[in-house]
Amino acid sequence: MLETNRYQRQVLFVPIGETGQTKLSQSHVLIVGAGALGSSSAEALTRAGIGQLTLIDRDYVEESNLQRQQLFSETDMKQKTPKAIAARQRLAEVNHHVQIHAIVGDAEVDILRKVVPEADLIIDATDNFETRLILNDIAQKYQKPWIYGAVVASYGITFTVLPDKTPCLQCLQAYIPAYGATCDSVGIIQPVVQKVVSHQVTEALKLLTGNEADLSGKLISFDLWKNAHTEIDIAALRKKDCPSCSENRSYPNLAYESRMKTTKLCGRNTVQLRSQRKSTDLSEVAKELQKNKQIKLFQNPYLLSFEIDSYRVVLFQDGRTLVHGTMDQQEAKKIYHRYLG
Ligand SMILES: [Zn+2]
């Protein structure tokens, strides 16, 4: 039984109506990441009356999150509450009808294999490219639509991937900014989050209420500060030989060998990471890192090294990275994604 008053304004909206509202109440969305994008889309879907939400996030709430991660409070920060748990608490206050599943952990292949089949669609709210590649392949494998979204500084980008219908992230890689810039290196303003989430949640509502014909079909990117907006029609960009979505697909990002490898270096306070990105343009990375004045940078023809807080990070051309200053593999990964995307 729908609470007609609660959702009345949304039901009045013709493309949704009573039928769409009922479909929403029976839908299950997986949101990967409960940071800025994740908390904002989770709140929007919770208010819209989604049936179930699953949230995955590995972090806890920190002070620097409060500027843009709308579900979290100073109390969450003081208690170092895991983001997925803090989000669930807040969302339950917003709409107690929604079933919320909170998973505190890395969005790794094994966890995603369990939760993706249960979901009707996936919203990408992660902060790193490795996870998005995994998400891309697993969504194809289980035939689930997923909505890419990324933000940094005043820039945002989003598109919707429909298995076997649209190009996937692998197909569109050339249209996505190269890695290097992250919210921790060049910062972020909050409105850019809302704009990407507006697109992501609207696309989700279209899909879940049976309005697939209204999907945008575009890769949308914008820079709010520079007043720039670009739309690329993606229909023709599907690659015939794509390893993730073509007929001869192999889902390379789900293979154990291609996942990011971390190794503790014996006797040293150092973790080595091996990324699945084949080659690294170190000068591109350096250019992005230079924007953060707190980072001390050093570069020679073979490697790039930078210091931040108590860590020293060294990147090699072959995709290897050393994180000095920790023995903890999860912490090393976090530092890697924080500054290198
Ligand atoms: Zn593809």
240 Cα–ligand 1 center, Å:
8
Range 143-147 average pLDDT: 98
Residue 161 above 60 pLDDT? yes
Type and span of the H or E element at 129: helix 129-141
Taking the mean position of all CA atoms in its chain, how far away is CA 195? 15
d(CA 7, CA 43): 15
| The pLDDT value given to residue 202 | 98
241 — pLDDT class (breaks 50, 70, 90): very high
DSSP letter at 257? Answer: G
140 Cα–ligand 1 center, Å:
9
313 Cα–ligand 1 center, Å:
32
Catalytic residue among 168, 183, 242, 245: 183
Contact (CB, 8 A) for 84 and 103: yes
Range 298-322 average pLDDT: 85
Give 182's contacts (C-beta < 8 A, 6+ positions apart).
Answer: 127, 152, 337, 338, 339, 340, 341
Residue 268 above 80 pLDDT? no
Taking the mean position of all CA atoms in its chain, how far away is CA 168? 15
| The pLDDT value given to residue 127 | 85
Range 117-129 average pLDDT: 94
Dihedral-angle region of residue 24 (phi above 0 means left; psi in -120 to 50 means alpha; beta otherwise): alpha
| The pLDDT value given to residue 298 | 87
224 — pLDDT class (breaks 50, 70, 90): very high
Question: Among positive and negative, which fits the CA dihedral 180, 185, 191, 197?
Answer: positive
pLDDT (tens digit, 9 = 90+) per residue, 175-193?
A: 987 656 777 778 899 999 9
Give percent of the chain above pLDDT 70. Answer: 94
Residue 267 above 80 pLDDT? no
| The pLDDT value given to residue 258 | 63
Stretch among 36-45, 119-128, 208-217, 316-325 having the lowest mean pLDDT: 316-325
Range 204-215 average pLDDT: 98
Range 260-265 average pLDDT: 71
Q: Is 183 a catalytic residue?
A: yes
Residue 265 above 90 pLDDT? no
Range 107-124 average pLDDT: 95
252 Cα–ligand 1 center, Å:
11
Range 268-275 average pLDDT: 82
Stretch among 16-25, 142-151, 300-309 having the lowest mean pLDDT: 300-309
144 Cα–ligand 1 center, Å:
14
Mean pLDDT of the chain: 91
Give percent of the chain above pLDDT 90. Answer: 65
| The pLDDT value given to residue 98 | 98
Residue 308 above 70 pLDDT? yes
d(CA 224, CA 208): 29
| The pLDDT value given to residue 1 | 52
| The pLDDT value given to residue 105 | 84
| The pLDDT value given to residue 243 | 95
Residue 2 above 60 pLDDT? no
Residue of 337 and 17 predicted with greater confidence:
17
pTM of full prediction above 0.85? no
d(CA 308, CA 170): 32
Give 317's contacts (C-beta < 8 A, 6+ positions apart).
Answer: 279, 280, 282, 302, 303
Residue 276 above 80 pLDDT? no
